[in-house]
Amino acid sequence: MSVQQLPASTVHVMLGDCSAADAKTVLGVLCGRFTADREGADEPHESGSGRPTVWTVLFDTAAEPGSGAGPVPQLSGQPTVEAQGGPQATQRLREALDAAFTVHELGTEAGDQEVQMKLRLDAKTAHETRSV
């Protein structure tokens, strides 16, 4: 069995510790900036099993990102984002998240070929949105 090598611009994102609505908000921001492996109609939904749900998406950060302009995204909780990919790709993803949310770094492991980071997101406050 061969392992398919993903392009260096690809970031694997796992989103958890949140409602389907918050997942939709975060993924909507990222899908507005980067190409994803999901269809636009493929919206997050709860599994209904009573167990935690994790949403996963592959993003290609190679193309120039979209403007990301629009209303300030609101969150009802504090989703966690785990991202894994090349250093430049994960940096571009982080910048997109920083533009839309208050981002708290929970941990980062960096190698020469790959970066893994865990982040917690909060909605930006009114003060933060005025200074952006």
Q: What is the pLDDT of residue 92?
A: 94
Report the distance separating Cα 32 and Cα 75, nearest Å: 17
Q: What is the pLDDT of residue 27?
A: 92
Tokens 């994960």 -> residue: 90
Q: What is the pLDDT of residue 44?
A: 62
The contacts of residue 112 (CB under 8 Å, 6+ apart) are none
Is residue 44 within 8 A of residue 55, CB to CB? The reply is yes
Q: What is the pLDDT of residue 2?
A: 46
pTM over 0.85: no
The tens-digit pLDDT sequence of the chain (132 residues) is: 444 566 889 999 999 989 989 999 999 999 989 999 876 556 665 666 666 788 899 999 997 666 555 677 899 999 999 999 999 999 999 999 999 999 999 999 998 889 999 999 999 875 555 444
Q: What is the pLDDT of residue 132?
A: 47
Q: What is the pLDDT of residue 63?
A: 77
